Structure 1
Amino acid sequence: MNLILSLFTNLGSNLLSILYNLPMIFLGIIGLCLLVVFHEFGHFIFCKIFNVYTPSFSIGFGPRLFEKKIGDTVFAISAIPLGGYVEIAGAQEVGQGDQTHAHDKNSRAFSQKPYWQKMLIIFGGVLFNFIFTYLALSLLFYLGSPCISSLCNKYPAIVSIIGKNSPAEKAGLKSNDKITAVNNVKIDNIKHLNKLLTPYIDKTVTLKVNRDGKEENLDIKIASHKVGNELRPEIGAYWLVKPMTLKNALIAGFKGTMDMISEMLKSLKNLSSNREQLGGPLLVITQLSQSIGLGWKVFIFMLAFISINLAVLNIIPLPIFDGGQALFYTIEAITGKPLSDRLRYNIHYFTWIAVILLVIYITYKDILKLGNRFFKTKTEQLPTNVESKK
């Protein structure tokens, strides 16, 4: 009986927690939609530059919930918020608008434009994702911001934000603490700190900390996280990057963008052997929502990270991504003739089926991950004789 009461009590408290966090979940969805808008605007702006007709611009797929015509384009919000599209006259893309202008051959049709203009239109979204990440990181470096290890390796190990129930919190680390040594070995920067901590994953080390000008020793058990096949030390804290000059912030923003791309490529390279790294829209929205609770700077940082992920994913040469469209038109430029409508449709159709099945699988895995987090019972904490009570 106690076990049943415990389960219902825990379920109820977690449901209340979810309801309490609904505003942050909503803001997370808004943040993801903003990234989609920015990506699609990249396609849209290059269409306008090269005088290509765009019948519709939609955030989301499926039935339209809201639409308004501005100029010669219908702007819409659709029911399924898993992306978006710009319908382009003279370009055949299954699932993007009603495609009534897909076979246009006039001067405003995509199909009539030179190859280099087609590539700029196709990769305009990717370019805008890069620009968003670069500007966001530059702003954060200029203002001073929390930062993750991979983007601020060369900076001093000054603690900014500490995760709840993290090794850092359990060890007693506080914001603005400066870690100066590991097991009495002095450190130069965050990169050096991570190098010294790597052999001690799942072990306890002693950190020397400078707190308000005084030295303290703290014992901490080092956790870990995976990047590709690489296991990296984790203490559950963001590092503090102090405000920079505008020039240095712009340089650091570019370097940070390149570092994010490198991390993303590493993850993709090892994805087949690390399927647990897969995350869908549900997990992305959850992470965005959680970042809001850590402050607007962490939220902007997460948007920058997701934006660069969208950019790299869209380069993949699958038909539903920008890279796949570029491949089609590159083949057309080389052979001198387009792929047949039937072949193009079949490729799109089967790719969409595969991706939808993958999204369903990933969403299922996301639900399990989030279920373990939000609905984890306290069975292990109950008395050992609980089963004998009726």
Structure 2
Amino acid sequence: MEGLIMTAQLLLGLSILVGVHEFGHLIAAKAFGMRVEKYSIGFPPKIWGFQYGETEYSFGAIPLGGFVKISGMIDESLDTESLSQEPEEWEFRAKPAWQRLIVMMGGIIVNVITGIIIFVFLVYTNGSSYIPKEELNKHGIVAYQLGQEIGLKTGDVILKVNGKDYERFSDLRSMEVLFSDQPSYRVQREDSIFDIQFPEGFLNKLTDKKYKDQFIAFRYFYEVGEVSTGSEADKGGLLAGDKIISVNNQPTIYFDQLKEILTANTDKDVVATVKRADNNMETLTFHVTPDGTIGFYPNPLINYMHDEFSFGESIPIGTAQAFNVVWANIKGLGKIFSGDVAVSKSLSGPIRIAQMFGGTWDWNKFWNMTGLLSMVLAFMNFLPIPALDGGHVVFLTYEIVSGQKPSDKFLENAQKVGMVILLSLMVFAFFNDIIQSFT
């Protein structure tokens, strides 16, 4: 069931984004009097369609893309039969270069606008909930395997990031920090203050699936939330609102302490001291499952900050969030070329993107992922690769600057090269997803 929900969210998100992207090309072409023969969400074979005016609108059976067919344009269809004749006034090739440039930028522009609109409405609807620095530093951080590798310890207080102050816990793991040239934390441990530099190659580990959630987390007091019916916690008499003070005479006032002790006692009985909601103390015995749990959900005792924004305030905040996605992709691409991040760890295909949507239908998460993908799609399409919009933009910019149009034969061959590159990347991404799923 989870797989179906992941797939459905991916296909719906892609259909929306491809639809608006191709609509950007279509509306720009029609605005300049170009004939648009086809508009398709999905690739052939055609499932359903209709004719409206000069344009056929349709849905294709292969949902991982779409296209518009503009008369007189060398595109992925490689339909070049009419190019040997004089161009008609309604053809793409008959229009001035600046108009053709706007048409090619139309999809990118609409994807950017879509991403901004989504992020603005998410900010306006949800506001912003976060753990402020002051709350985080009451208890410090939890250092997991990767955090320990760079020298962090559970309970450390992080004072600065890259030599600068910060506002919230999420700033510690932001792309702006991790993609900087020399990421560092200023740390207070008891009475000592010192800097920890991230070692070379650390980002490559951080993006490795097997190290997911193995860097740092915030430390918090907790109480027992929902107790799963029939679980070991339920059998042992644990109640919602209880506080587990110790297990096997080891303190467990922080949730990470409890997790560590339970993990060390899998498939064994443990004795816990529990403080009830009425402040009475009781001793309970639980059997720890093989996966290191007893069967309850913790209720973190954290003072979250929550900011609400007016629609006017949401516009610059949402816009900044949208363009932060582009900036992160630019820096990430730089890290790939520099060798700091392996391509196999950073290039996601449809399987991993579907997994990012998740196996439960959460509209907030869906729209957040769709907004993110809209900005990523705009960025990727702007890359100067033939067959992508960015490749067309390069050739048209050359034509505008030099006054000389590349030959149709050159454009046709460039399109073929670009398609080979794109198909190779798609095949690599797909099989990389499969390989990463088993590692």
Do these two structures clear the TM 0.5 threshold for a shared fold by scoring above it?
yes
Instruction: Check whether the contact 2:387–2:414 (CA below 8 A) recurs between aligned residues.
Output: no
**Secondary structure of residue in 1 paired with 2:21:** helix
Which of 29, 36, 50 is the aligned partner of 2:32?
Answer: 50
In structure 2, how many angstroms separate the alpha carbons of the residues matched to 1:69 and 1:155?
A: 58
In structure 2, how many angstroms separate the alpha carbons of the residues matched to 1:26 and 1:54?
A: 30
Matched ranges for 1:1-390 at <5 A: 19-95=1-77, 105-144=87-126, 183=156, 188-190=167-169, 193-194=172-173, 195=185, 199=196, 207-208=219-220, 217-219=254-256, 242-272=307-337, 273=339, 274-275=342-343, 276-288=345-357, 290=358, 293=360, 295-372=362-439
Q: CA deviation at 1:125?
A: 0.7
Q: CA deviation at 1:203?
A: 7.2
Instruction: Check whether the contact 1:65–1:76 (CA below 8 A) recurs between aligned residues.
Output: yes
Amino acid at match of 2:29: C
Give a deviation string over 1:356-384, Cα, whole Å, max 9, x none. Answer: 12211221111122345xxxxxxxxxxxx
In structure 2, how many angstroms separate the alpha carbons of the residues matched to 1:138 and 1:256?
A: 9
**Structure 1 unpaired stretches of 5+:** 1-18, 159-166, 168-180, 222-236, 373-390
Amino acid at match of 1:249: S
**Secondary structure of residue in 2 paired with 1:80:** strand
Instruction: Check whether the contact 2:221–2:254 (CA below 8 A) recurs between aligned residues.
Output: yes
Change (3 A) 1:305 1:295: same
- Structure with the greater alpha carbon radius of gyration: 2
In structure 2, how many angstroms separate the alpha carbons of the residues matched to 1:38 and 1:95?
A: 20
In structure 1, how many angstroms separate the alpha carbons of the residues matched to 2:109 and 2:124?
A: 22
Q: CA deviation at 1:80?
A: 2.8
In structure 2, how many angstroms separate the alpha carbons of the residues matched to 1:328 and 1:207?
A: 54
Q: CA deviation at 1:242?
A: 4.0
Q: CA deviation at 1:116?
A: 2.3
**Secondary structure of residue in 2 paired with 1:108:** coil
Instruction: Check whether the contact 1:144–1:241 (CA below 8 A) recurs between aligned residues.
Output: no
In structure 1, how many angstroms separate the alpha carbons of the residues matched to 2:135 and 2:119?
A: 19
Instruction: Check whether the contact 2:132–2:305 (CA below 8 A) recurs between aligned residues.
Output: no
**Secondary structure of residue in 1 paired with 2:256:** strand
In structure 2, how many angstroms separate the alpha carbons of the residues matched to 1:301 and 1:67?
A: 30
Change (3 A) 1:155 1:90: farther
Amino acid at match of 2:416: Y
Give a deviation string over 1:158-192, Cα, whole Å, max 9, x none. Answer: 9xxxxxxxx8xxxxxxxxxxxxx964668842356
Q: CA deviation at 1:261?
A: 1.3
Instruction: Check whether the contact 1:129–1:311 (CA below 8 A) recurs between aligned residues.
Output: yes
Change (3 A) 1:154 1:314: farther
In structure 1, how many angstroms separate the alpha carbons of the residues matched to 2:101 and 2:398?
A: 12
Q: CA deviation at 1:332?
A: 2.8
In structure 1, how many angstroms separate the alpha carbons of the residues matched to 2:132 and 2:34?
A: 46
Query: Paired residue for 2:192?
Result: none
**Secondary structure of residue in 2 paired with 1:297:** helix
Q: CA deviation at 1:74?
A: 0.7
**Secondary structure of residue in 2 paired with 1:270:** helix
In structure 1, how many angstroms separate the alpha carbons of the residues matched to 2:354 and 2:216?
A: 34
Number of equivalences? 309
Give a deviation string over 1:15-65, Cα, whole Å, max 9, x none. Answer: xxxx45314412321211111111111111111222211001112234323
In structure 2, how many angstroms separate the alpha carbons of the residues matched to 1:262 and 1:366?
A: 24
Amino acid at match of 1:79: A
In structure 2, how many angstroms separate the alpha carbons of the residues matched to 1:293 and 1:156?
A: 33
Give a deviation string over 1:294-345, Cα, whole Å, max 9, x none. Answer: 6210110001111111101111111111110111222333443432232222
In structure 1, how many angstroms separate the alpha carbons of the residues matched to 2:317 and 2:133?
A: 11
**Structure 2 unpaired stretches of 5+:** 137-143, 145-153, 160-165, 174-184, 188-194, 199-205, 207-213, 226-242, 244-252, 260-299
**Larger proportion of helix:** 1
Query: Paired residue for 1:10?
Result: none
Q: CA deviation at 1:114?
A: 2.4
In structure 1, how many angstroms separate the alpha carbons of the residues matched to 2:158 and 2:401?
A: 60
**Secondary structure of residue in 1 paired with 2:377:** helix
Change (3 A) 1:332 1:368: same
- Identity among equivalent positions (%) equals 24
In structure 2, how many angstroms separate the alpha carbons of the residues matched to 1:74 and 1:115?
A: 26
Change (3 A) 1:80 1:99: farther
Instruction: Check whether the contact 2:323–2:375 (CA below 8 A) recurs between aligned residues.
Output: no
Instruction: Check whether the contact 2:71–2:91 (CA below 8 A) recurs between aligned residues.
Output: yes
